[in-house]
Amino acid sequence: MIGTIGEVDRIFYRSLEELESHHLDEAIKSCMEALCGYEELGEYFKSARCQNLQGVIYAAMDNETMAVDCYLAGLEYCRKHQVKGLAHLFYCNIGTRYLELGDTAKAIDFFLKGLADLTENGNDLSDLYEKWLIVNKLNLGVAYLRFGRLEEAEENLKAAMELVESTGDNTYSFTIMCGLSKIYLAKDEEGYVRENLHTMMEYVRLKLAPLNDYMQDIISFIDILKAIGEFDLWRETIEEFDQLSREVKSPTVMLQAVEFWLDYYSTRGMMEEHKRMCIRHTQLYMALKKYINQDKIMALNAKLELQQAEDDVKAAKLRLESDDVTGLKNRYAMQMHGPKKVELAYKTGTMLVVGILDLDHFKELNDTCGHLRGDTALKQVGNILDNCLDGYGDIYRYGGDEFVLIIPNGNYEVADKVARKIIKSIAKSHIPNKAAPINGELTISLGICCCIPKETDRLEDLFDIADGVLYQVKNNGKNNFGIKLIQESESCSV
């Protein structure tokens, strides 16, 4: 188990760094480790961010299926745990997948959903809000540009640039400037491009954006340089990207660099250089196929490992909350989940049924027949109780021969029906107990409390009332049940 939030945070940010360096195998392992850590600590917001990062890493591995699985699971996770302000991350990344696949209309739809979520929940995000709003506006601008809706594209990209200038975060400045340049070129307005060529070349050299984003920026920038006939800057841009591709040693990035050279040599009529680069392209393409297959295998292994880790956590939790003798939920499980049932009943104004049951003359059964026979009787009673509840609620072994039943959204009639069924089923089972006065067979006593909890009521208060009823049943001869209905005007607490 991972100890502190600080430790898990460091693992999360290490995963981000490994992604930016294109060390994807290390990135996914760190991400999975951080995800498990956040889950253990109950950090739902950070856990959701980690799920989003996991999808981004799978996308970088060219494994779109797993990436989208992560984004959809993340949306469901946010709904389940009421995580505010992160749904937009998953919407935007799904939109990006659609944009890359050429379905711009659906991409815009998801980007707008992301913007709506971000606008609604931005107050809870502090310094993250403006950073994520930049990305959202940028995504919308790029999508509208591809759709040919230049006015909307310009509006969103300008809004993104204003946020960049106000925050001083230049990570996406190059991307925004490339988008605006394409808009103005489409309007036959070359002035903006010429004015900002020097600045954009500086961003080419600085390489501020994450690798995948930087590669897309270079593709856009080269289109711009070709359009205005800046061949020297075009070559310099390819050289910068080529150098980066050799540093990261990614076949995908190296292949893109070769494709840049092929386009350049073809356009410039440099056929000998073009021919040599064609050979290089073939070699890299074969290496890329092998690389992609290895990444897919690694991604599949990682997902299976994560599933196994989740299964192990669930199994450990199940063992922790299970009674060894009866297989029912134990006292620990009741202490974990019982108070939540009381709180929910209070908030919804519904009746909660709490019962305490024990086996009559159980000590005598243990003393005369031994503890193994006693354990067998406990198992039999546990099975009967589980069947008698019939989905109405939960049964717990509290300890010794005591069992607790909790029925949410119940009423007096349900409590009476279940209690009668338990007494009848125990009698029908004919469990031997020589010490018992009735036919030498085991019997039980049951006390039940029915009430709509008040805000101050605790689970222990309902236990006290049910235990008092059980005490009366015991004094009146056992082998029976009693129910106390607390009126709405009364409180369960003392």
The answer as to whether 414 is a domain residue is yes
Specify which residues 473 forms β-bridges with: none
320 with 378: CB under 8 angstroms?
A: no
Question: In the structure encoding, which two tokens stand for residue 71, read together?
Answer: 């984004």
Per-residue pLDDT, 40:
86
pTM for this entry: 0.58
The answer as to whether 366 is a domain residue is yes
Per-residue pLDDT, 309:
66
Question: Who's near 62: CB < 8 A, 6+ residues apart?
Answer: 252, 292, 295, 296
Same structural domain for residues 16 and 122? Answer: yes
Give the number of other CB atoms < 10 A from CB of residue 84: 15
445 with 480: CB under 8 angstroms?
A: yes
Per-residue pLDDT, 184:
95
- DSSP letters for 427-461: HHHT-B-TT-TTTTB--EEEEEEEE---TT--HHH
Same structural domain for residues 362 and 292? Answer: no
What does the DSSP 8-state code read for residue 21?
Answer: T
The answer as to whether 323 is a domain residue is no
What does the DSSP 8-state code read for residue 82?
Answer: T
To which H or E segment does residue 62 belong? none
Q: Can you tell me the distance from the alpha carbon of 2 to that of 41, in angstroms, rounded to the nearest whole number?
A: 8
Among the candidates 278, 311, 344, a domain finishes at 311
The answer as to whether 145 is a domain residue is yes
Q: Can you tell me the distance from the alpha carbon of 139 to that of 119, in angstroms, rounded to the nearest whole number?
A: 15
The answer as to whether 200 is a domain residue is yes
Same structural domain for residues 305 and 349? Answer: no
Same structural domain for residues 304 and 436? Answer: no
* Counted domains in the chain: 2
Same structural domain for residues 68 and 193? Answer: yes
Q: What CATH number does residue 63 fall under?
A: 1.25.40.10
Same structural domain for residues 363 and 303? Answer: no
Question: Who's near 183: CB < 8 A, 6+ residues apart?
Answer: 145, 150, 153, 154, 157
- Write out the chain's pLDDT in tens, 494 residues: 456 899 999 999 999 988 877 788 889 889 989 998 898 888 999 999 999 999 988 887 767 788 888 999 999 999 988 898 899 999 999 999 888 888 999 999 999 999 999 999 887 787 788 999 999 999 999 999 999 999 999 999 999 999 999 999 898 999 999 999 999 999 999 999 999 999 999 999 998 877 778 999 999 999 999 999 999 999 999 999 999 988 887 778 888 999 999 999 999 999 999 999 999 888 888 877 766 666 566 656 666 666 676 676 666 666 778 888 888 899 888 888 899 999 999 999 999 999 999 998 888 888 777 878 888 889 999 999 989 987 778 999 998 899 999 999 989 999 999 999 999 999 998 988 887 777 788 999 999 999 999 988 999 999 999 999 999 999 998 999 999 998 765 656 54
111 with 136: CB under 8 angstroms?
A: yes
Q: Can you tell me the distance from the alpha carbon of 101 to that of 104, in angstroms, rounded to the nearest whole number?
A: 8
Same structural domain for residues 20 and 84? Answer: yes
Among the candidates 311, 340, 360, a domain finishes at 311
Amino acid at 38: Y
Question: Who's near 323: CB < 8 A, 6+ residues apart?
Answer: 329, 330, 382, 396, 397
Per-residue pLDDT, 226:
95
Same structural domain for residues 221 and 248? Answer: yes
- Which candidate, 390, 370, 364, 387, places its Cα nearest to that of 442? 364
Per-residue pLDDT, 101:
84
Same structural domain for residues 297 and 429? Answer: no
The answer as to whether 491 is a domain residue is no
Q: Can you tell me the distance from the alpha carbon of 356 to that of 305, in angstroms, rounded to the nearest whole number?
A: 42
Same structural domain for residues 284 and 341? Answer: no
Same structural domain for residues 129 and 37? Answer: yes
Which domain does 467 fall in, by range? Answer: 329-485
Tally helices (H) and strands (E) across the chain: 19, 6
The answer as to whether 78 is a domain residue is yes
Question: In the structure encoding, which two tokens stand for residue 59, read together?
Answer: 């996308």
Same structural domain for residues 29 and 78? Answer: yes
The answer as to whether 494 is a domain residue is no
Per-residue pLDDT, 1:
45
Q: Can you tell me the distance from the alpha carbon of 468 to that of 450, in angstroms, rounded to the nearest whole number?
A: 13
Q: What CATH number does residue 447 fall under?
A: 3.30.70.270
Among the candidates 243, 278, 311, a domain finishes at 311
